[in-house]
Chains A and B, each alone.
Chain A
Amino acid sequence: MTAVELQGVSRVQNGTTMVRDVSLSVPEGSTFALVGPNGSGKTTILRMLATIIRPSAGKAQVLGHDVVAEPGTVRQIVGYVPDSFGTYPGLKVREYLEFFASAHRLRSAGATITDLLNLVELRQVERRYLSGLSRGMKQRLAIARALLHDPAVLLLDEPTFGLDVRGRSDVVAVLKELHDVGKTLIISSHLLDDVAPIATDVAAISGGRLVASMSAEQLRRLIEGPRRIRLEVANDPRQAQAVLAAIDAAQSVEAEGQELTFLFRGSRYALPEVVTALVQREVKIIRFAEESNDLEVLLASLEEPPG
């Protein structure tokens, strides 16, 4: 069954088209990643699904309920975690959840709140003021808040953005747990690495348009595709350029001063061989780093599929 269905959805805001004719379908129980660079329209799509704003054109449905015609029903089945850590500094952790429980018309939500605090591992700080929480804690609290009314669909806008490694892994662990209990998750991110481990389906969006839709397997293949490598050398860069030119997997070599960048279309385990070849030809390496498999690489790959 389809959890979320968008049909030709557009959103014009202040004369600017934020989302243009987007159609996509999210299967129930899936973890759907909506990836795209900043300003691509991801947040706008999530906010339309959360009934905060209305589509200017097209139709958006959550579990068969129209977001415009039945906003009250949609709010009952959708939980929303925005990209900001908006909290009330004057409230304590448990009070914050109690406030939103009352806003969701939940009666005697004490046990639910305790369960959620345990889920996101914040039980020990339930009497602490929100102003004293770390970003990671606030984000986990935001997820707990979004789960108060036990929604079937959870919308998460950049849930791991701005978190440290520990914070990210904690949030990812919670999301995996939610996926395992059958929740439908729609996660927006501009970092493919963040969603790749948990996504079952992926849609790439750019400039308000849907540019690709793929399975997690296809995504992983893409991620395993081209890697952008940055190389800084101490001696003549032409020497390094010559070495790279002889390696088939190293393509699109560009040099600027002592820095070279190239796309490497091979397994990451083949990268040490490139370093070895450079060292053997007496290239003095200052830095050899793989840039993150960011969305620009993905989108470039979509435009020019790897041969």
Chain B
Amino acid sequence: MMLWRAAYTDLRARSRGGATFVAIVVVVAIFGLAVALAFHALGQQPAPVVSFGAQNFGRSGTISNGPATPTAVDALTASSRSAILLVVLGGLMAVCGAVVAATVGAASVAGEHERETIDLLLTTQLGAGGVTAVKTLSTFLYSLLVTLAAAPAFGLLLVFSSLPLASVGAALIIVVGSILLSSAIGVFFSSLTRSSAAAFLSAVGTVAFLLVGAAALYLLLSRLSNSLHVLTQLLLLPSPVAALVSSNYGQFQAPDAVLLPALLRASPEHPVHLAGPWQLPVPLWLLTIALDVVGALLLSVLTNKIIQGTGGARRLQI
């Protein structure tokens, strides 16, 4: 209860001023652009046919009373198109949210050092553990709120696609997991460097590598040799894009599988599970969420230790 109240006050203080407004506008603008580009790119393919009762609607909005037009073999099926849109939008949302979380988290504990308020917090009943929890919680909630401003984009997917609600729900959980891990990374570097600028560079760099760079590295290495492909599969674990592909694999229909060559190589039989020595009986996306949660907890433990120890190293003035 105490943590929630303190986190709420911290969140309220962060939300004031123009920065939050700008962040929301930027996130929504990025999403608006992404949605437009994705629809435009996928719109080059033949239209899916969506049925409403007895009537079928084509992409042009014309109404036909005849049977649905069969999908061309060399084109995306409606289901694959929807899944790809979900991966693109979900991945973008996860990365945007993660960058916001890393940025906000980087200013959290370092900001307390820079404002010279860290001592005030450490002498309350919060202690180092409470400070860690409050900062991580408020960073997470703030980033989540800013990112969720773009959530209506998922509504578009639900309305105009054949995606089940569970797929969108899983995508949102993956996004939330990425934001949680990135919040913890931001707060960790914030406590470690005690400088907002240094923490920002370290946290955003780390998040960018974990969420995007690691998967890119895997794609690169997996093409070099098969053994490297097996060894480097773990690089996919933190990637929200890989997790989104995994959670929606059932939506990709056979002819479209060629769109995901690298990811599909993960396992010939169960492409969304890790293969080779890492093969586990759970899908990749669940492992990603587990990694997000466990990683956030471990980083919070480390942050707590650092804050406990930095009281003395804060400055040399006595």
CB within 8 Å of B: which residues of A?
A: 11, 13-14, 16, 18-19, 39-44, 47, 50-54, 71-72, 75-76, 78-80, 82, 84-88, 90-91, 95, 98-100, 102-105, 145
Contact = CB atoms under 8 A, between A and B. Distances in A.
A186 B125 CA distance: 21
Contacts of A79: 123
A86 B16 contact: no
Rank and list the top 3 A-B pairs by shortest CB-CB distance, nearest first: A86-B116, A103-B124, A102-B5
A104 B124 CA distance: 5
27 contacts: A18-B318, A19-B318, A39-B318, A40-B318, A43-B317, A43-B318, A51-B122, A52-B119, A52-B122, A75-B123, A75-B124, A75-B125, A82-B116, A86-B115, A87-B115, A87-B117, A88-B115, A90-B17, A91-B13, A95-B9, A100-B120, A100-B124, A102-B6, A103-B6, A103-B124, A103-B126, A145-B120
B5 A53 contact: no
A82 B318 contact: no
A18 B316 CA distance: 9
Contacts, number: 92
Contact of B9 (A18, A41, A54, A102): A102
B318 A84 contact: no
Interface of B: 2, 5-6, 9-10, 12-14, 16-17, 115-127, 130, 311-313, 316-318
A103 B119 contact: no
Contact of A44 (B9, B116, B120, B318): B318
Nearest to B5: A102
Contacts of B117: 86-88
A16 B116 CA distance: 22
A47 B124 contact: no
Contacts of B123: 50-52, 75, 78-80
A104 B10 CA distance: 15
B116 A42 contact: no
A43 B318 CA distance: 5
Given A76-B125, A88-B117, 20 more contacts: A14-B316, A19-B318, A51-B123, A52-B311, A71-B127, A72-B127, A75-B123, A85-B116, A86-B119, A87-B115, A90-B14, A90-B17, A95-B9, A99-B6, A102-B2, A102-B5, A102-B9, A104-B124, A105-B2, A145-B120
A84 B124 contact: no
Contacts of B126: 103
B108 to A, nearest CB: 12
B2 A14 contact: no
B16 A90 contact: yes
A16 B316 contact: yes
